[in-house]
Amino acid sequence: PMGKEAKLAIGGFLHLQGEWGDAPDARFPVGDRFLVRRARLGVKGSFVEGFDFALTSDFGSNSLGTVSGYRAQITDAYVAWSRFPAATVTVGQFKTPFGYEQLMSGTKHIVIERALVNDQLTLRRQIGAMLSGSVGGPRLTYAAGLFNGNGSNNSANDNDQFTYVGRVAGTWIQTDAGRVSTGINAFTGRDSGSFSGHRRGLGVDLQASYRRLELQAEYLNTCFDRAIGRDYTAEGWSLLGSCVIIPKLLQGVLRYEVYDVDRDLAGDTTELWTVGFNYLIKGDDLKLSFNYLLGDLPGPRAEEGRLISRLQVVF
Amino acid sequence: PMGKEAKLAIGGFLHLQGEWGDAPDARFPVGDRFLVRRARLGVKGSFVEGFDFALTSDFGSNSLGTVSGYRAQITDAYVAWSRFPAATVTVGQFKTPFGYEQLMSGTKHIVIERALVNDQLTLRRQIGAMLSGSVGGPRLTYAAGLFNGNGSNNSANDNDQFTYVGRVAGTWIQTDAGRVSTGINAFTGRDSGSFSGHRRGLGVDLQASYRRLELQAEYLNTCFDRAIGRDYTAEGWSLLGSCVIIPKLLQGVLRYEVYDVDRDLAGDTTELWTVGFNYLIKGDDLKLSFNYLLGDLPGPRAEEGRLISRLQVVF
Amino acid sequence: PMGKEAKLAIGGFLHLQGEWGDAPDARFPVGDRFLVRRARLGVKGSFVEGFDFALTSDFGSNSLGTVSGYRAQITDAYVAWSRFPAATVTVGQFKTPFGYEQLMSGTKHIVIERALVNDQLTLRRQIGAMLSGSVGGPRLTYAAGLFNGNGSNNSANDNDQFTYVGRVAGTWIQTDAGRVSTGINAFTGRDSGSFSGHRRGLGVDLQASYRRLELQAEYLNTCFDRAIGRDYTAEGWSLLGSCVIIPKLLQGVLRYEVYDVDRDLAGDTTELWTVGFNYLIKGDDLKLSFNYLLGDLPGPRAEEGRLISRLQVVF
């Protein structure tokens, strides 16, 4: 470290992917390919004064689409003042508190790709400020923040108005055998950039585990009050179950999800099945995953399948 | 380190910024926003043979304007052979020796943003070679270099001609109570890129400190002999005073500056006041700054104000 | 490291270059310039389970042409499972096993730039998967892989077909006084991107050393069966000799090379001489090289010369 009293750790992870088949939903291109899905590298550190910071970046595709000319871009760049666990202040670029699956690190996912609805209707990383904390032990957590609303790696706020985002989550049962948690989150924001108008999002999620079984459910919905054009509401949900087949070694997963681009229109809904397994060579640090996706896309296209393999290395 | 006998240190800093108000000068957009002003990360090292090197990059906005799609770009990439302090040779990309405030690290500034004239009329980082050193103890320093003249992160030299830059600075008084230093710098270069013609720059600067007070003054001027179109001269100056209010904790600053885009035209001058303070949570390593800028821009616009807050973390 | 049991090393190298003169071949711009030819930084590591990984990136020009707006891009991003030396599996982005000089690290070259034919007819880094190993001790090595065929830092495979690449190399004589090695490599691939059609490449190479002398020879050839337009074959060869003048300090090099863009057309061949020396300040870790290139380009242009100087720092 060049500063005097900061602790500094360097690290990152690689997501190397091979894919075969068609496009089960609109995020994927058609055809076989290899890609560097994510290549993260960065530093995290802390000061004894209660300040933590992170500067991490992605050098890979950082997208499911076809990205050419990968270039390094910040994922996280924030400073958090966490002296009081009940009221941590975070400023910079980081994940907005909206969407359970979005908030979970990509290295902890048990399905290779996030649900379509989660990818489409969350705000991902934004630049802004947030107050968060845990109340009554670690049982209840909250987060509330304001952000430019114009995405990550962008120093513009298109219209002088911020996007407000909040989330409350609680763990209701926690025993040796299992755990039940729920979350609710919402956002509201006015923008005049790639989307022009007023967006309001709402989401609820549930996670439960019992011995070798795990269940995750999430519903998300966003109303787009457009400045020009008809208003519409997009919504979707996903239901994910997993089962440890061999402890610390093999895990099976199954997910069903639905995403409706416009609730008032027929024929624009994607239904998607995912079945797969994770082979934990060394926990999450060295993990090989295979997922088969079968999607029923809108339009005349028949069901389309895709086999995705991912090697994850966390270092 | 992958090489055998180099010492290597990793580090960087974050400048996280929140801004509210209008555009006090042409560098700023109008409106409230958050931005990752700078996100620097890199390595510095040395060989026992007297060679030092640096490779640092910025992952943030690296600009006051509205930058979308931040991408990592080199700030410094140089090797210096510093065996003889009176004659150090530096090659690569680094700051050109022109402009006192420009040469000072962004983490050491006592005002959040550099003076407008310094931003507009200095050459910033360039790719080239430089001879520099200190003569007669650390009292007198000099630097002279030649550079492509086409900016940083650019392997083109548009017209086969180099830009020559030089600076001499001296400290005339240095006691326990205070210090008086001055500098003079100049450059000359012919380019045929974004500017086509012959540019000549000149600058003088003075720094003085006495107990809790500090004063910085700088004047810069550049003659643009354009290949096509009328020649013109831009000039400006800034005067900055600061006062330590609580030692090692709180510092107040006040700056006045003038920038005239074309000396021969009326109505193209910006006048700018800055008032603010720095709260040193942990010296320069963890610093929170607030500046209020009030600018009288050219044209019919009235005075415009902007509140800028910055959190600086050096690691 | 943020993962638990990975060993991690950070490092890289700088290639800072000054050039004077004309363009001896089509890769170079005309005119004097400074450039950051390469600025590599990255991490390499391993797990005790026999997995190695690398994530390295280039922040510099990474090209001989005129690149403006340098941005950080991945060079290597791979994971290799090397538990069995006879069958190592590598996935991610890395160098394709085609072209001896291409496969040699840029820090180990004894001539500043690769031969023109090697730059033009190899596939460089690609995203894919490879099986490689050494058979019968380190005497015989092989590598065979499949890749998107659409270059590095690109998650598209333009046409659902992979490019297949293979190489076999052997060392036939290895004594205290010298060494003789040969290699043969080939590839075949169908693409519909910037090149549309079927490409087939072939190459043979020979390396020999005897006391202070070293010899490298390489021939490469690629047939372009274009989807639209006439098919053609490009080919070329290079012959490089070097001599240690002062052991561990000074080395002289001489290279002659020929590159024919289309074997069936006259007047499209470049002939190129390179003469130079390497001054090893600290082995390859701190090396200063000067090369003079004299090229006879196609067309009416006379022979053109260029002096290239490079400072290499490996850290």
Tokens, residue B101: 């405030």
For B313, residues 6+ apart whose C-beta sits below 8 A from its C-beta are A3, A6, A47, A51, A53, A79, B13, B14, B16, B285, B286
CB contact under 8 A, C155 and A281: no
Predicted confidence (pLDDT) per residue in B40-95, tens digit: 999 999 998 899 999 999 999 999 999 999 999 999 999 999 999 899 999 999 99
CB contact under 8 A, A1 and B13: no
A18 to chain C: nearest residue by CA? C128
Q: Identify the CA nearest to B35 among candidates A156, A171, C233.
A: A156
**C247 pLDDT more than 90:** yes
* Average pLDDT of every residue of chain A: 94
Q: What is the pLDDT of residue A2?
A: 59
Q: What is the pLDDT of residue B2?
A: 60
- How far apart CA B299 and CA B267 sit, in angstroms, is 7
Task: Provide, as residue numbers in chain B, all residues whose Cβ is less than 8 Å from the Cβ of A160.
Answer: 30-32
Q: What is the pLDDT of residue A7?
A: 86
CB contact under 8 A, A314 and C2: yes
CB contact under 8 A, A157 and B18: no
Q: Measured between CA atoms, how close is C172 to chain B, in angstroms?
A: 30
Q: Which amino acid belongs to residue B24? A: P
- Which residue did the predictor score with more confidence, A152 or A3? A152
Q: What is the pLDDT of residue A6?
A: 76
Q: Measured between CA atoms, how close is A306 to chain C, in angstroms?
A: 13
CB contact under 8 A, B311 and A157: no
Mutate to test the interface with A, among B30, B34, B75, B307 (most CBs of A within 10 A): B34
Q: Identify the CA nearest to A246 among candidates A282, A287, A212.
A: A212
Residues of A with CB under 8 A from a CB of C: 9-14, 16, 18, 29-37, 39, 41, 44, 59-61, 63, 65-72, 281-283, 285-286, 311, 313-315
Q: What is the DSSP string of chain A?
A: --SSS-EEEEEEEEEEEEEEE--SSTTSPSS-EEEEEEEEEEEEEE-TTSEEEEEEEE-S--SSS--BS---EEEEEEEEE-SSTTSEEEEEEEE-S--HHHHS-TTT-SSSS--HHHHHHS--EEEEEEEEEEETGGGEEEEEEEE-SS-SSB---TTS--EEEEEEEEEEEE-SSEEEEEEEEEEEEEEESSSEEEEEEEEEEEEEEETTEEEEEEEEEEEEEESSS--EEEEEEEEEEEEEEETTTEEEEEEEEEEES-TTSSS-EEEEEEEEEEEEEEEETEEEEEEEEEEE-SSS---EEEEEEEEEEE-
CATH top-level class for B87-314?
Answer: mainly beta
Residue among A60, A68, A286 minimizing CB distance to C156: A68
Q: Measured between CA atoms, how close is C181 to chain B, in angstroms?
A: 27
Task: Provide, as residue numbers in chain A, all residues whose Cβ is less than 8 Å from the Cβ of B286.
Answer: 47, 49, 51
- How far apart CA A66 and CA B57 sit, in angstroms, is 26
Q: What is the pLDDT of residue C1?
A: 55
Mutate to test the interface with B, among A2, A79, A125 (most CBs of B within 10 A): A2
Tokens, residue C174: 């290895």
CATH top-level class for C74-314?
Answer: mainly beta
Task: Provide, as residue numbers in chain A, all residues whose Cβ is less than 8 Å from the Cβ of B60.
Answer: 74, 77
- How far apart CA B217 and CA B221 sit, in angstroms, is 14
Q: What does DSSP assign to residue C23?
A: -
CB contact under 8 A, C154 and A69: yes
Residue among B33, B66, B70 minimizing CB distance to A74: B70
CB contact under 8 A, B43 and C44: no
C284 to chain B: nearest residue by CA? B3
Predicted confidence (pLDDT) per residue in A116-133, tens digit: 999 999 999 999 999 999
Q: Determine the 3-state secondary structure of C155 from DSSP.
A: coil
CB contact under 8 A, C31 and B154: no
Give the phi and the psi of residue A137 in degrees, each rounded to 5: 75, -160
Please report, rounded to a whole number, the percentage of residues in chain A having pLDDT higher than 70: 98
| Cβ atoms of residues C156 and C150 within 8 Å | yes
Residue among C47, C78, C154 minimizing CB distance to A68: C154
A8 to chain B: nearest residue by CA? B315
Q: What is the pLDDT of residue C297?
A: 87
Task: Provide, as residue numbers in chain A, all residues whose Cβ is less than 8 Å from the Cβ of C127.
Answer: 34-36
Dihedral Cα C25, C26, C31, C33, nearest 10 deg: -100
Q: Tell the residue number behind the tokens 């995290």, with chain if given.
A: A44
CB count within 10 Å of CB A28 equals 21
Q: Measured between CA atoms, how close is C106 to chain B, in angstroms?
A: 14
- How far apart CA A52 and CA A42 sit, in angstroms, is 14
Task: Provide, as residue numbers in chain C, all residues whose Cβ is less than 8 Å from the Cβ of B160.
Answer: 30-32
Mutate to test the interface with C, among A7, A8, A14, A66 (most CBs of C within 10 A): A14
Tokens, residue A139: 């049982």
Predicted confidence (pLDDT) per residue in A163-219, tens digit: 999 999 999 999 999 999 999 999 999 988 778 899 999 999 999 999 999 999 999
Residues of C with CB under 8 A from a CB of B: 9-14, 16, 18, 29-37, 39, 41, 44, 59-61, 63, 65-72, 281-283, 285-286, 311, 313-315
| Cβ atoms of residues B199 and B225 within 8 Å | yes
Q: Using 50, 70 and 90 to split pLDDT, how confident is the model at C160?
A: confident
Task: Provide, as residue numbers in chain A, all residues whose Cβ is less than 8 Å from the Cβ of B311.
Answer: 79, 91
| Cβ atoms of residues C101 and C114 within 8 Å | yes
CB count within 10 Å of CB A175 equals 8
- How far apart CA B37 and CA B284 sit, in angstroms, is 17
Please state, in angstroms and as integers, the Cα–Cα distance from residue C218 to each residue in A311, C206, C240, following that order: 36, 6, 9
Q: What is the pLDDT of residue B250?
A: 98
Q: Determine the 3-state secondary structure of C121 from DSSP.
A: helix
| Cross-strand pairs, B141 | B134, B169
Task: Provide, as residue numbers in chain C, all residues whose Cβ is less than 8 Å from the Cβ of A113.
Answer: none
Residue among C12, C31, C61 minimizing CB distance to B55: C12
Q: Measured between CA atoms, how close is B20 to chain A, in angstroms?
A: 9
Annotate C55-117 with three-state secondary structure. Answer: EEEECCCCCCCCCECCCCEEEEEEEEECCCCCCEEEEEEEECCCCHHHHCCCCCCCCCCCCHH
Task: Provide, as residue numbers in chain B, all residues whose Cβ is less than 8 Å from the Cβ of C61.
Answer: 155
Residue among C73, C79, C129 minimizing CB distance to A71: C73
- How far apart CA A86 and CA A97 sit, in angstroms, is 16
Q: Measured between CA atoms, how close is C22 to chain B, in angstroms?
A: 10
Please report, rounded to a whole number, the percentage of residues in chain A having pLDDT higher than 90: 88
Predicted confidence (pLDDT) per residue in A23-56, tens digit: 999 999 999 999 999 999 999 999 988 999 999 9
| Cβ atoms of residues B75 and B57 within 8 Å | yes
Residues of C with CB under 8 A from a CB of A: 1-6, 8, 10, 42-43, 45, 47, 49, 51, 53, 55, 57, 71-74, 77-79, 91-93, 127-129, 147-148, 150, 153-157, 159-162
Residue among C55, C128, C159 minimizing CB distance to A14: C55
Q: Measured between CA atoms, how close is C227 to chain B, in angstroms?
A: 35
- CA-based angle A216:A221:A225, to the nearest 5? 165
- How far apart CA A241 and CA C39 sit, in angstroms, is 46
Task: Provide, as residue numbers in chain C, all residues whose Cβ is less than 8 Å from the Cβ of B93.
Answer: 36
For chain A, list the contacting chains (3+ Cβ pairs, <8 Å): B, C
* Average pLDDT of every residue of chain C: 94
- How far apart CA A279 and CA A250 sit, in angstroms, is 5
Q: Using 50, 70 and 90 to split pLDDT, how confident is the model at A265?
A: very high
Q: What's the half-sphere exposure (Cβ side, CA atoms, 13 Å) at B290? A: 5
| Cβ atoms of residues B109 and B230 within 8 Å | no
Tokens, residue A275: 């079945």
Q: What is the DSSP string of chain B?
A: --SSS-EEEEEEEEEEEEEEE--SSTTSPSS-EEEEEEEEEEEEEEETTTEEEEEEEE-S--SSS--BS---EEEEEEEEE-SSTTSEEEEEEEE-S--HHHHS-TTT-SSSS--HHHHHHS--EEEEEEEEEEETGGGEEEEEEEE-SS-SSB---TTS--EEEEEEEEEEEE-SSEEEEEEEEEEEEEEESSSEEEEEEEEEEEEEEETTEEEEEEEEEEEEEESSS--EEEEEEEEEEEEEEETTTEEEEEEEEEEES-TTSSS-EEEEEEEEEEEEEEEETEEEEEEEEEEE-SSS---EEEEEEEEEEE-
Q: Using 50, 70 and 90 to split pLDDT, how confident is the model at A3?
A: low
Q: What is the pLDDT of residue B1?
A: 56
Q: Tell the residue number behind the tokens 């999450």, with chain if given.
A: A284
Q: Identify the CA nearest to B56 among candidates B145, B2, B125.
A: B125
Task: Provide, as residue numbers in chain A, all residues whose Cβ is less than 8 Å from the Cβ of C2.
Answer: 9, 11-13, 44, 314-315
Mean pLDDT of A220-231: 95
Q: Measured between CA atoms, how close is C61 to chain B, in angstroms?
A: 6
Q: What is the pLDDT of residue C49?
A: 82
CB count within 10 Å of CB C271 equals 19
CB count within 10 Å of CB C159 equals 17
In chain C, DSSP assigns E strands to 7-21, 33-46, 51-58, 73-81, 88-95, 125-135, 140-147, 163-174, 178-192, 196-210, 213-226, 232-246, 250-260, 269-284, 286-296, 304-314
A84-107 residues labelled b (16+ CB within 10 A) or e (exposed): eeeebbbbbbbbbbbbbbbbbebb
| Cross-strand pairs, A79 | A53, A91
Q: Tell the residue number behind the tokens 């290499």, with chain if given.
A: C312
CB contact under 8 A, C36 and B77: yes
Q: What is the pLDDT along chain B (315 residues), one digit of tens a residue?
A: 566 667 899 999 999 999 999 999 999 999 999 999 999 999 999 998 899 999 999 999 999 999 999 999 999 999 999 999 899 999 999 999 999 999 999 999 999 999 999 999 999 999 999 999 998 776 899 999 999 999 999 998 988 899 999 999 999 999 999 999 999 999 999 988 778 899 999 999 999 999 999 999 999 999 999 999 999 999 999 999 999 999 999 999 999 999 999 999 998 999 999 999 999 999 999 999 999 999 998 877 778 999 999 999 999
Q: Does domain A7-314 have CATH number 3.40.50.800?
A: no
Q: What does DSSP assign to residue C138?
A: G
Q: What is the DSSP string of B100-144?
A: HHHHS-TTT-SSSS--HHHHHHS--EEEEEEEEEEETGGGEEEEE
- How far apart CA B93 and CA B147 sit, in angstroms, is 9
| Cβ atoms of residues C122 and C133 within 8 Å | no
**A300 pLDDT more than 90:** no
Q: Tell the residue number behind the tokens 């969407």, with chain if given.
A: A99
- How far apart CA C156 and CA A63 sit, in angstroms, is 11
Q: Determine the 3-state secondary structure of C29 from DSSP.
A: coil
